[in-house]
Amino acid sequence: MRLLDIITQQALRSVAVVGLAKNAGKTVALNSLIRQAAERGLALGLSSVGYDGEKIDFVSRLAKPRIDVEAGTVIATAAATLERATAPLEIIATTNFVTALGEVMLVRAREGGSVEVAGPDSYREMGVCIARMQELGCELILVDGALDRVGGAAPTLTEGAILATGAVAGSSLGRILSRTLHMVHLFSLPEVVHRELRVAATGAIEAGRILLFTAEGERTLPFRTALGHAAAVVDCLPLVEPCYLIVPGAINESLLSELANRPRLCRNVVLICQDPTHIFSWPEVWQKYTGCGGRVEVLKHIRLLAVTVNPTAPRGRSYPPAEFAREIALSLLPLPVFDLFISDRAVGV
């Protein structure tokens, strides 16, 4: 089975490719998907999203990634990248979304060639671009997306996601495995099901107010986020009664630690946040929290389709490819894992 097969089998129309760290092989995954889509004659749409630090190489001031496209591909990218494309481009529409590289334009490659892709800065704008590329007839839209530090991320906009991980993600195989597993685990956190709770949580997150939800009723806490006052927030929790704590913005390590240090409270509370990209925690703190019985639910989880691995880090460290890929594939079973440097077929275990 190839990477694209996973997408087409589930009839997904948009997929984000995100990296666990820089140089984890995101662009390789993207190029491989583009090639496979071209072979199958899929009408493709392409873009990238994230803040400029992630989209532009600071040394060269060039947008990354630079991607080879076939004739017919639609791309949402900033005006300044158009002149550096080797593919002749037809300009279809403007978007009014302005970035450091100019306004984001919707263009179509009239011949094959390479283009730099630098899409919109915000996730709301990316959502609009995806919709417009679909209107233009794109059957599959691929988004190069950062898992960035400021709320929201590409995978929550698309129907599915592919995670790139590799030797750059940690100093040892164990470390890489634990970080990858951790991220895969976060992606698949359960979604809030209870209808009333969903309504309350959506409202509180939109309003930017921490909300305590119990069988007795709802109580808005006097905080806009948990950042900076984890202890004060935890002090507001009821001692025995089970409750949901809805957290707008990020759930960070200080909140998780604070709860883990009070195991009795920890067992009674379920934290709720927007989506998995709003949880900022290393595996250790997370495990301590869940170890105490702590739980987290999200309004929207991420449908992870596959993981790609890159056994080589650009500076030095690397692992034997076959063993590395197999090791990760084993620990992620049944999730398909690919080492695209070796083969476009999933790693067998």
The residue within the footprint of other proteins, chosen from 82, 104, 237, 272 (CB under 8 A), is 82
Q: How far is the CB of 225 from other proteins (least distance, A)?
A: 31
Q: Which C-beta is closer to other proteins: that of 81 or that of 156?
A: 81
The residue within the footprint of other proteins, chosen from 9, 22, 57, 94 (CB under 8 A), is 94
Say how far apart CA 102 and CA 235 lie, in whole Å.
Answer: 47
Count the neighbouring beta carbons within 10 Å of the beta carbon of residue 166.
32
3-state class of 304 per DSSP? strand
Say how far apart CA 266 and CA 260 lie, in whole Å.
Answer: 6
Say how far apart CA 265 and CA 215 lie, in whole Å.
Answer: 16
Phi, psi for residue 16 in degrees, rounded to 5: -100, 140
- Position 79 contacts other proteins (CB under 8 A): yes
Question: What are residue 98's DSSP bridge partners?
Answer: 103
Total interface residues for other proteins by CB under 8 A: 33
Asked if residues 82 and 105 have their Cβ atoms less than 8 Å apart, the reply is yes
Q: Which of 161, 191, 141, 183 is nearest to 303 (CA)?
A: 161
Q: Which stretch binds other proteins (CB under 8 A): 91-99, 209-217, 222-230, 234-242?
A: 91-99
- Position 344 contacts other proteins (CB under 8 A): yes
Q: Which of 125, 148, 141 is nearest to 47 (CA)?
A: 141
Q: Which C-beta is closer to other proteins: that of 23 or that of 290?
A: 23
- Position 44 contacts other proteins (CB under 8 A): no
Residue that is written with structure tokens 């034997």 in the block = 320
Q: Which C-beta is closer to other proteins: that of 1 or that of 91?
A: 91
The residue within the footprint of other proteins, chosen from 35, 179, 185, 224 (CB under 8 A), is 35
> From residue 110 to residue 129, what is the string marking binding to other proteins with x (rule CB under 8 A)?
xxx-----------------
- 97 membership: H or E segment, kind and range: strand 89-99
Q: Which stretch binds other proteins (CB under 8 A): 7-15, 82-90, 152-160, 326-334?
A: 82-90
- Position 312 contacts other proteins (CB under 8 A): yes
What residues make contact with other proteins under the rule CB under 8 A?
28, 31-32, 35, 79, 82-83, 86, 88-94, 102, 105, 108, 110-112, 311-312, 318-322, 340-344
